[in-house]
Structure 1
Amino acid sequence: MKKRTFIYQLVLITVLGLVISSCFQDLGQNPPFDYPEEPPKPPISEDGQLFYMTFNDNYKDARSNKEASITGNPGFAGGKVEKAYAGAKDSYLTFKLSDMPAALGPAVTVGFWYKVNASPDRAGIIVIGPVSEGAPANAQNNRTSGFRIFRENAGGKQRIKANVGNGTADGWLDGGDKADIDPTISPWKYLALVLTEGKAFFYIDGEEVASSDLSKVSWAGCDIMSIGSGEPRFNEWGHLSDNSLIDELRIYNKALTASQIKEIVNHDTE
């Protein structure tokens, strides 16, 4: 019995020695052992994409290779993906729609990551709108075309809303408390406005929080997009510069589905 136990112990020691030797050979071999890496994530689809601004140390649209115009002193900060736009008082970007590779159509998706700063307690976020003819520069509020994505105080939280013009009137996307963000936690949230012929939708992190009937969005008189403020076309109600962070701003000339929006959320979160 003792002899058999000794043989078992000898076999075990021999096997362990071979394993350890193999490990050290892997560490010392030249070239080193090439362990397989995880395949890279597939990129987000560019199908129908008109505009893409990463905010990675510049304010350039990757689709047109055109730079946004800068008002004030916005900056950069750590983003959801690399760097992000960092808002500042009296600061924002404007981008000429004529610099996009194609005109905006009746089906559009605007999506971006957003990390709210609740001071000031209301602000414009992304705005495409026309001039209010005859109104002073500080009372611009023509909502009959384009869209306005903005935030307002709601019992200490920040409620994200949108407004869309159909050429003669405007409609609202107000999801109530479903569209609230707690600024004391201030997580990154993915905001998406989807416009179609017949309906408008607003999503947060791929979940629908508001919808409204929309015959068709009008782009009449819309020539610029504001990023980080309601200025200069949506300022009458005090939706001015936003001190929040904005990242990975994309505009598509098509209506993304909820599942497609969720794919973007998952891609940038994993």
Structure 2
Amino acid sequence: MKFLRYFPLILTTAALLSLGSCKQDLGQDPPFDYPDEGSSGVQLPDPLYHLACDDDLFLDGTLAGEMKTFTGESPMFVDGKSGKAYQNVDGQALILTPDAASTTALKSLGSYSIFMWIKFDGTNKNAAGLFSIGNKTIEVADVAFFLNNGNTTTPSEFFFKGFMQATGASGKPDAWFDAGDDAKIQNMAGVWAHVGVTYDAGTSTITLYHNGGAVCDRVLKDGAFGPMTFDEVSGICLGAFPSQVGLGSGAGWTAEASFYTGAMDEIYLYDQVLTPAQVTALYEQAK
């Protein structure tokens, strides 16, 4: 219902010349599956990770492994942006412990795109974790994105921030995505918002999106940050930071962090950079 898988459509030159229309012959057996492009007509790639949150923790994507809550309790579901949504509470988080093949895929992520719908209750003052790829050997995470309204006096506005640490030939470069007021999103508390980032390893550029449109971008390490490759992946964490749930080593960082409290829906991780048109199409799917 929620995620539409797109299949490549291959037509030969002869077929293109001989057919005046590409519509499906309803009498064809078996029927031919044309890609559903949605109202925008823009095709989306297959995700590495997709969590629809429809009354279960079923993963629809390439990654596989054990998906559960941090405490082991049954997850709570509420009305979502599309169907149901996962409700995170203080002290709780969702964790994916990937299998061997999925761990290998995450270690060589390269470029990526992360998107989700959130309905934040706005009570967190410190950094509230949204999406992280954990690593037990470093303080924060391989990749971590979070909300923070601790340095604003307006409860309904939040700063979207992030951290990345890769394993490269020249060591372990790390960088914060902290664009200040450029990454401040207004009127976030209590409403559904589509948020996410794309990271282009070729240009070392990270771009923040909100409700289908680009908000700001930053070039990391003067364009020399490069591909996201990791020496360890302990799991994917939603609603907290890895060190809060046993997937990281940063005890000091944990003291400064908050659990995200609010709903989360339609969570995607891609191992490539979505174009602006594709980001808009992803937003329009559940708008």
Question: What is the TM-score with the length of structure 1 in the denominator?
Answer: 0.72
Change (3 A) 1:185 1:170: same
Partner Cα distance (1:186, 1:219) in 2: 35
**Could you report, residue by residue, the CA deviation over 1:179-204 in whole angstroms, capped at 9, with x for unpaired residues?**
33446753222112212223222222
Structure 1 segment 1-270 matched on structure 2, within 5 A: 41=38, 45=43, 47-63=45-61, 66-72=65-71, 73=73, 74-98=75-99, 100=102, 103-104=105-106, 105-122=109-126, 123-132=128-137, 141-143=139-141, 146-153=142-149, 154-155=151-152, 156=154, 157-167=157-167, 168-182=172-186, 185-197=189-201, 198-199=203-204, 200-205=206-211, 206-213=213-220, 214-230=225-241, 231-232=244-245, 233=248, 235-269=253-287
- 1:53 touches 1:61 (CA, 8 Å); kept in 2? yes
Q: Give % identity.
A: 18
Deviates further, 177-186 or 218-227: 177-186
TM-superposed deviation, 1:92: 0.6
- Matched AA of 1:256: L
Change (3 A) 1:47 1:182: closer
Amino acid at match of 1:219: F
- Tell me the alpha carbon deviations over residues 94-118 of structure 1, each in whole angstroms, 9 at most, x when there is no partner: 1023364970320211111111122
Q: Is this contact kept in 2: 1:49–1:253, CA < 8 A?
A: yes
From the superposition, tell whether residues 148 and 101 of structure 1 become closer, same or farther in structure 2 (CA, over 3 Å).
closer
RMSD, aligned α-carbons: 2.7
Answer with 155-164 or 43-52: which moved more.
43-52
CA distance in structure 2 between the partners assigned to 1:83 and 1:166 by the alignment: 34
Consecutive unaligned residues of structure 2, counting only runs of 5 or more, are 1-35
Structure 1 residue identity aligned to 2:54: N
Letter in 1 for 2:146: F
How many residues end up aligned between the 2 structures? Answer: 222
Which piece of structure 1 moves more, 77-86 or 207-216? 207-216
In the superposition, the TM-score normalised over structure 2's length comes to: 0.68
Contact 1:71 / 1:92 at 8 angstroms: preserved in 2?
A: yes
